[in-house]
Amino acid sequence: MDLPVDEWKSYVLQKWSLLPKSIQVTISTAETLSDIFLHSSSLLQPEDEMFLKRLSRGYLVGKDPNAPLFYREEGNKKFQKKDYMGATVLYSKGVSHSRPNSEDISLCYANRSAALFHLGQYETCLKDIVRAQTHGYPERLQPKLLLRKAECLVTLGRPHEASQTISDLESNFAAKPTLAASQFQVLQRTLCRLKVKVQEKENLTETSPAALTKALEDMDLREENEQISSTSSSVSLCTDPLKGRCLVATKDILPGELLVKEDAFVSVLNPGEMPPWHRGLESKWDTRATNGDLYCHRCLKHTLAPVPCDGCSYAKYCSQECLQQAWDLYHSIECSLGGLLLTLGVFCHIALRSTLLARFEEAGKVINKLCGEITNRDTCLPESKNLAQILSYDLGGESKNKGKTVETPIPGCDINGKYENNYNAVFSLLPHTGNHSPVHKFLCALSVSALCRQLEAASLQAFTTGLRSSKLKAAAAPVLYPELNIWGVAMLRHMLQLQCNAQAITTIQQTGSEKNLITNSRQVRLATGLFPVVSLLNHSCSPNTSVSFISTVATVRASQQIKKGQEILHCYGPHESRMGVAERRQKLRSQYFFDCNCPPCEREKQRPSQGPGREAFCCHRCRALLQGYDVLSCGSTSCTESVSRDHLVSQLQDLQQQVGMARKLLRNGELERAIQLLLGCRHAAESFLLAEHSVVGGIEDDLAQAYAASGDWEKSAAHLQKSLRVVEVRHGPTSVEMGHELFKLAQIFFNGGHRFEPWSGKIPHAAEQLSP
């Protein structure tokens, strides 16, 4: 997903292996990104481009004229089964394949409005009704569309607009009677019913989660930092000889304090499971819902009614405004490259989009650096007719600085020492060129080269238009090929930066049936983005902050008290509660190129080996930890019990199979059988697994769900509290996983009608917790 598809990676790997040793050495020892890019680009042959084009054609990103009817019919099947959410997704797919101002798109919009009406999304339903009419919805079908519009307006507490809609409908009937008298009478009765309904339900809003999200979006920093954009005044930017740039507390910080609220400089929606149609799918039209069907491709907001790009079927947006902004900023270039960008991966897509966004900033100094690398000069000469060189001179070269480069104390800061969320800060992020393997650099460089060739083959006028300033309108026409090399080097830099600096933008998705009183949730990766300020945070396996996302905005909060002068730290993934020190250090070394020496790692290195840890087996007699390899012996000096590892592994597999059967019963609503089977599994687990084992926690969580479904809130709470103990030990008291479990516990108490004390880290007995 991040890197190119496996077929292209294998192809490039084979190409690398067949290169003469001298060329491999030249690329491996190249000291600059421009050398790597130019050498690799010269090796890209027409047959390589043809192979990549064949892979790209496998993705259905254009508008297929036969797809709207297929998706509309499939959506109708879901609608008839009252699966309105499934129908909405399929109608949206039909919309994305339809041409503007066609009957196909108007019918898909109208059908989607019906599904949205049944989902209670009345405002969105109204928007789809307007879209259907705008695109030429057939006049013969207008009555039912107008009636739906009136019902939405009444339900939303807008009776005057509803009455006007009905009046328009009556006028149309009088002028062009198209319905039988009996059908017209139905409309009149419906109007009377709606007028009564509006008195019962005034000013109904759509959903409270939307209001909550808006409230969270409106939370701002108490006092914004004057030197670091999007950051609290409680932190400052410093440099460390070993760590490089870092954020440090300027005063004591309390848990929960908002430290950073930053919008991504660039983000790209992860496509999810979107294989080319020829890979194992029965039809070339995929009916599965992916991230691309449910989230805006620009702002990442969840949407049930996306608005598609007029030129492709892949890009979809939450509104016409987002669509237009995306088109103006980057999609006008990306639109025709959808299949290629999906083939080359998210990192390559971000690299392209970053350079496209740079066109709208005064990025002359950045271009100057790149131009200097290409031409092997310190600065770009003003007499050059190359557009990028002229811009370098005009925006950041000799004419403004009298030939002198203004040194900034910290990379990424402007001449005034301010670090902002802009392209200059993005460019300053380290690519770690020397740490990447030669094959990886060749893969990235060849992929970027292929993308540049595709851009060159198409019209590059739009690509370079944003680079022009008003002062350069009279300049000579730019030489495109050298300019493309400059931006190719920039894209290669960004692609290499992303391994260490990309942020996985996550969201919480609800799982399970909508009918369940207790909602399960999981954290999923929605998109990948670059956040210049968040990238300043260094890693700790036990961080003092937590990072969350709303759409494209990252928020960083203190998860514990942070003393003045203490560094603000973030976890890059390997957390002390999730994996051992050796595994953490290996993962950080392979992806981020450093050996972690944070306090948890130093403590664990000094301890003797802890063995298998929480996923270990215990003695069935005394519950002590079993130790050993093929034959495990009890760790207690007073116990002589021993057992073979193979026997315990087989026992664990049998237990997991039983748990799987119980979960299936639970999904099918066979609660009593599921509970009895889970209780048996729980008893079996106690005989050989530690209390903190993940399987034990999972069984307790399943029992909590089963009892909640049967309405026994007290037993549900008791089992969920046991699951909470396992989650807290494994993931930490301030982890996202702990937050999910506590939210479930709150739902149980709420549904049980009981009050409870705030979480204190120690869970009292369920009877105490549930006291009336």
Q: Look at residue 129 in the predicted model and tell me its pLDDT.
A: 96
Q: Look at residue 177 in the predicted model and tell me its pLDDT.
A: 59
Rounded average pLDDT over 111-130:
95
Q: d(Cα 552, Cα 574) in Å, to the nearest integer?
A: 24
Q: Strand pairing partners for 235?
A: 249
**The dihedral of CA 94, 342, 55, 42: what is its sign?**
positive
| Residue with the two structure tokens 């759509």 | 206
Q: Look at residue 280 in the predicted model and tell me its pLDDT.
A: 46
pLDDT per residue as tens digits for the range 339-366:
999 999 999 999 999 998 887 765 555 5
Q: Which residue has the higher pLDDT, 374 or 37?
A: 37
Three-state SS across 343-395?
HHCHHHHHHHHHHHHHCCCCCHHHHHHHHHHHHCCCCCCCCCCCHHHHHHHHH
**Range ranked top by mean pLDDT from 157-161, 200-204, 394-398, 428-432:** 428-432
Q: Which residue has the higher pLDDT, 42 or 393?
A: 42
Is residue 629 very low, low, confident or very high in pLDDT (cuts 50, 70, 90)?
Answer: confident
Residue 441 in this model has a pLDDT that exceeds 60 = yes
Q: d(Cα 536, Cα 515) in Å, to the nearest integer?
A: 43
Three-state SS across 174-195?
HHCCCCCHHHHHHHHHHHHHHH
Q: Chain centroid to CA 387: how far?
A: 36
CA distances in angstroms from 166 to 145, 186, 386, listed in the order given = 11, 12, 63
Burial (Cβ within 10 Å: 0-12, 13-18, ≥19) of residue 440:
middle
- Alpha-carbon dihedral of residues 62, 66, 69, 70, nearest 10 degrees? -80
Residue 505 in this model has a pLDDT that exceeds 90 = yes
**Range ranked top by mean pLDDT from 153-162, 193-202, 563-572:** 563-572
Residue 395 in this model has a pLDDT that exceeds 80 = no
Closest CA to 58 of 5, 1, 2, 3: 5
Q: Look at residue 86 in the predicted model and tell me its pLDDT.
A: 93
Q: Lowest-confidence range among 21-35, 519-533, 707-721, 746-760?
A: 746-760
Q: Lowest-confidence range among 416-430, 709-723, 728-742?
A: 728-742
Of all helices (H) and strands (E), which one includes residue 660? helix 645-667
Q: Judging by DSSP bridges, how do beta strands 266-269 and 520-530 pair with one another? A: antiparallel
How many Cα atoms are found within 13 Å in the side-chain-facing hemisphere of 302? 13
Q: Look at residue 751 in the predicted model and tell me its pLDDT.
A: 78
CA distances in angstroms from 707 to 170, 676, 711, 720, 757, listed in the order given = 54, 11, 6, 10, 22
Contact yes or no for 251/257 (Cβ under 8 A) = no
Q: Look at residue 532 in the predicted model and tell me its pLDDT.
A: 96
Other CB atoms within a 10 A radius of the CB of residue 161 amount to 15
Q: Quick one: tokens of 744? A: 């479930």
Q: Quick one: tokens of 696? A: 């034990």
Q: Lowest-confidence range among 168-172, 502-506, 527-531?
A: 168-172
Q: Which residue has the higher pLDDT, 376 or 260?
A: 260
Q: Can you tell me whether residue 404 is helix, strand or coil?
A: coil
Strand order in the sheet with 631-634: 626-628, 631-634, 642-644
**Range ranked top by mean pLDDT from 155-169, 216-230, 394-408, 710-724:** 710-724
Q: Strand pairing partners for 258?
A: 557
303 Cβ neighbours under 8 A, 6+ residues apart? 294, 295, 296, 316, 317, 318
Mean pLDDT of the chain: 81
Q: Look at residue 471 in the predicted model and tell me its pLDDT.
A: 35
Q: Look at residue 250 in the predicted model and tell me its pLDDT.
A: 95
Residue 190 in this model has a pLDDT that exceeds 50 = yes
Q: Which residue has the higher pLDDT, 473 or 572?
A: 572
Q: Chain centroid to CA 377: how far?
A: 40
Other CB atoms within a 10 A radius of the CB of residue 732 amount to 19
Burial (Cβ within 10 Å: 0-12, 13-18, ≥19) of residue 606:
exposed
Is residue 551 very low, low, confident or very high in pLDDT (cuts 50, 70, 90)?
Answer: very high
Q: Look at residue 465 in the predicted model and tell me its pLDDT.
A: 47
Q: What angle do CA 722, 725, 730 make, to 5 degrees?
A: 135
Contact yes or no for 123/161 (Cβ under 8 A) = no
Q: Can you tell me whether residue 317 is helix, strand or coil?
A: strand
Closest CA to 326 of 266, 247, 259: 266
Residue 615 in this model has a pLDDT that exceeds 70 = no
**The dihedral of CA 23, 27, 29, 32: what is its sign?**
positive
Q: Which residue has the higher pLDDT, 171 or 670?
A: 670
Q: Look at residue 364 in the predicted model and tell me its pLDDT.
A: 54
pLDDT per residue as tens digits for the range 370-387:
555 555 433 333 333 333
Is residue 194 very low, low, confident or very high in pLDDT (cuts 50, 70, 90)?
Answer: low
Q: Quick one: tokens of 721? A: 């509290």
Q: Which amino acid is at 53?
A: K
Rounded average pLDDT over 468-490:
53
Q: Quick one: tokens of 675? A: 């509970």
* DSSP code of residue 253: B
Q: Look at residue 273 in the predicted model and tell me its pLDDT.
A: 58
Residue 50 in this model has a pLDDT that exceeds 80 = yes
CB contact burial 523-534 (16+ within 10 A = b; e otherwise) = beebbbbbbbbb
Residue 396 in this model has a pLDDT that exceeds 70 = no
Residue 761 in this model has a pLDDT that exceeds 50 = no
Q: Which residue has the higher pLDDT, 696 or 180?
A: 696
Q: Quick one: tokens of 120? A: 């209670």
Q: d(Cα 681, Cα 677) in Å, to the nearest integer?
A: 6
Residue 175 in this model has a pLDDT that exceeds 70 = no
Q: Which residue has the higher pLDDT, 606 or 691?
A: 691
Contact yes or no for 212/302 (Cβ under 8 A) = no
Rounded average pLDDT over 726-747:
79
Percentage of residues of the chain with pLDDT beyond 90:
47
Closest CA to 583 of 625, 556, 615: 615
Of all helices (H) and strands (E), which one includes residue 33? helix 33-42
Q: What is the largest CA-CA distance in the chain?
A: 98
Percentage of residues of the chain with pLDDT beyond 70:
77
Closest CA to 510 of 306, 113, 83, 209: 209
Q: Look at residue 70 in the predicted model and tell me its pLDDT.
A: 95
Rounded average pLDDT over 19-41:
93
Per DSSP, the residues of 441-478 read: HHHHHHHHHHHHHHHHHS--HHHHHTT--GGGTTSPPP
Q: Which residue has the higher pLDDT, 570 or 199?
A: 570
Contact yes or no for 502/530 (Cβ under 8 A) = yes
Q: Can you tell me whether residue 429 is helix, strand or coil?
A: coil
Q: What angle do CA 273, 274, 276 make, to 5 degrees?
A: 140
**Range ranked top by mean pLDDT from 192-201, 246-255, 463-472:** 246-255
Is residue 263 very low, low, confident or very high in pLDDT (cuts 50, 70, 90)?
Answer: very high
Q: d(Cα 518, Cα 745) in Å, to the nearest integer?
A: 9
Contact yes or no for 352/451 (Cβ under 8 A) = yes
Q: Lowest-confidence range among 85-99, 268-282, 346-360, 531-545?
A: 268-282
Rounded average pLDDT over 152-176:
79
Is residue 195 very low, low, confident or very high in pLDDT (cuts 50, 70, 90)?
Answer: low
Contact yes or no for 135/101 (Cβ under 8 A) = yes
Rounded average pLDDT over 624-632:
83
Contact yes or no for 523/504 (Cβ under 8 A) = no
pLDDT per residue as tens digits for the range 508-526:
776 655 555 455 667 788 9
pLDDT per residue as tens digits for the range 554-613:
999 998 999 999 999 999 988 877 777 888 889 999 999 999 989 888 887 776 544 445
Q: Quick one: tokens of 241? A: 């000889």
Q: Which residue has the higher pLDDT, 478 or 637?
A: 637
Q: Quick one: tokens of 732? A: 């930490």
